[in-house]
Amino acid sequence: MVIYEKIMPKETIKKLATILDRDLEVEFNYRGFNYEIFYSESNDCGWMIEIHDDGVEVDGGLCTGSAYDAIEFML
């Protein structure tokens, strides 16, 4: 079992990835952090991930994989 599956259920990741594929952006709260994931053509055509705590960005990155990959990338 991969560690992220212990953190967030695989079905939840799939649901978020479906929303991300459809809307090209998704925002959710998880374990006290706000996650924002959106498609960005200006950043090497990939998924930008931003993680905020009380409005302050604490982590982030770029994922060039699938929407599912982008959801699990920062977990």
Q: What global pTM score does this model have?
A: 0.84
Q: Residue 36 to residues 1, 21, 56: CA-CA distances in angstroms?
A: 26, 14, 12
Q: Choose among 41, 36, 42: nearest CA to 71.
A: 36
- pLDDT of 53 strictly over 60: yes
| pLDDT > 90: percent of the chain | 69
pLDDT tier for residue 42 given thresholds of 50, 70 and 90: confident
| 31 CB burial (10 A radius; 0-12, 13-18, 19+) | exposed
The structural domains of the chain, with segments of one domain joined by +, span 3-73
